[in-house]
Amino acid sequence: MNIYKKIIKKTITCTFLATLVFMMSGCAALNFRHEYDKGMRAYKEKNYEEAIISFNNALNYKPDSYSTLCLLGASYAYKKDQKMAEKTFQDAIRLFPNLWNAYIFLADLKKSQHDYETAIEFYETAVTLESMGGKEKLYYKNLLKKVKEEQAAYIMDDPLVKQQSIEKFKNELVNSYTGEKTTKDKTVEQKGEVMVGLDKNKWVKALEHKDEKSKIIEYGLKGEDVKNYNWSQLVTIQYFILNDNFKTTLDEYYKNHIGAIDAIAKNSNKQFDKKIIYQKKNEILYEWKFDEGKETEIARIVYTPKGIYHIHFAKKGIFTNEEKVKYIDLLKTASLR
C-alpha cells in the first residue's frame, strides 16, 4: 500500500511540474510578444531609446528571435551606438548565418563609417544567400557597383568627385529598384581623369606625361625611386583619346599591348605567361608573368566611345593571393571622368 502511495505522490508531483513548466513557457511567450510589440511601436515612432529597452526585454524571453535582434541592432544604429549595433548584428549572423537581413544592416553600418572594404564583403555575402528574393538581389547588386564607385572617390579624397558619385548612385538606385529608366542619356565629356582608390599614405605620384592624345601617370611606393626603375611595386594609369586620328577596338588594343611584351620576351629568350581573368563587351581584366615570375602584372583595360583607359598593377616577384584579390577589387572600382 505504501508503494502505491509513493507512486501516486510521484505522479502528482510530475504532473504538477509539467503543468508549471507549460504555464511558465506560455507566460514567457506572452511576455515576449508584449515586449516585442512595445518595441515595434517605439521603433515606428522613432523612439529608439524606448525601443532598445523593450527589444532587450523581449530577448530575455526569447534570445534567438532573429527579427528582434535585427530591430535592436537598427535601434542602436539610429542612436549612434555603433559598437552595440555591430555586436547585435553579428549575434544575428552567428545564430542565423543563412538569413540576409543582418548582413545588409551591418554592411550599411560599415558604409556609414567609410569602411567600404568590409561593407562590400557583407553586401556580396548577402546577395549570394538563397533567403534573399530576386528583387532584393537586383537592388543590392546595383548598390554594390555604386558603393565601389563611392569607395574610389572617397579614397581619392576629392570632395567634388565624391559628391557627384554619391548623387549619381542614389539616382540610379532609385531607377533600378522602381523599374524606371532614364528617358534621356546625357553626353558626358571625358577628361581622361581615371579614379582609382589608391591609399595616399602608401602610394606617391612619380611620373606624369600628358599631351593632346594621351595621358600617363605612374605611382610608386613611398621611398622608392621609380624614375630609375628602383621599385618593388608600381601602378601605371594610361588614357588614350579615340578620334579620327586614332581608332582601335578593345581586342585590337589588348593584342597590340600584349604582343609588344610577348616580342620582348621572345627576343630575350624569357618566359612570358598571360591569362585573361574575365572579358566583357567593353573591358578586359588580365594578368601576366614575365621571366618565370620575376615580374608580374594585373591590369584592366576599359573601352569607351571617347577613349580607352588602362590601369596596371605591377610587382617585381609574384603577387600573393591577398595582394591579387586586393588589386583586382581596386581595378574593378576604377572609373573615368
Mean pLDDT (the chain) is 81
Closest CA to 128 of 140, 118, 119: 140
Return the H-helix or E-strand segment holding 116.
helix 116-128
Instruction: Indicate whether 39 and 80 sit together in one domain.
Output: yes
Q: Give the Cβ contact number of residue 285 at 10 Å.
A: 18
Q: Is 260 within the bounds of a domain?
A: yes
pLDDT in tens, 100-122: 999 999 999 998 888 888 889 89
Average pLDDT over residues 258-265: 84
Return the H-helix or E-strand segment holding 50.
helix 48-61
Cα dist from 210 to 44, 48, 198, 237, 307, whole Å: 56, 55, 20, 12, 14
Q: Is 258 within the bounds of a domain?
A: yes
pLDDT in tens, 1-39: 454 444 444 444 444 444 444 444 456 678 888 889 999
Structural domain that includes position 320: 194-336
Quick one: CA dihedral 260, 264, 269, 273, positive or negative? negative
Instruction: Indicate whether 49 and 86 sit together in one domain.
Output: yes
Instruction: Indicate whether 171 and 120 sit together in one domain.
Output: yes
Closest CA to 170 of 151, 147, 204: 147
Distance of alpha carbon 46 from its chain centroid, rounded?
Answer: 29
Closest CA to 156 of 96, 116, 112, 213: 116
- Of 145, 178, 211, which residue sits at a domain end? 178
Instruction: Indicate whether 78 and 225 sit together in one domain.
Output: no
Q: What CATH number does the domain containing 220 carry?
A: 3.40.1000
Counted domains in the chain: 2
- Of 178, 206, 230, which residue sits at a domain end? 178
Burial of 125 from C-beta contacts in 10 A (0-12 / 13-18 / 19+): middle
Please, which residues bridge with residue 281 across strands? none
Least confident of 91-100, 141-150, 181-190, 201-210: 181-190
Q: 214 with 239: CB under 8 angstroms? A: yes
Please, which residues bridge with residue 283 across strands? 302
Query: What's the DSSP call for residue 332?
Result: H
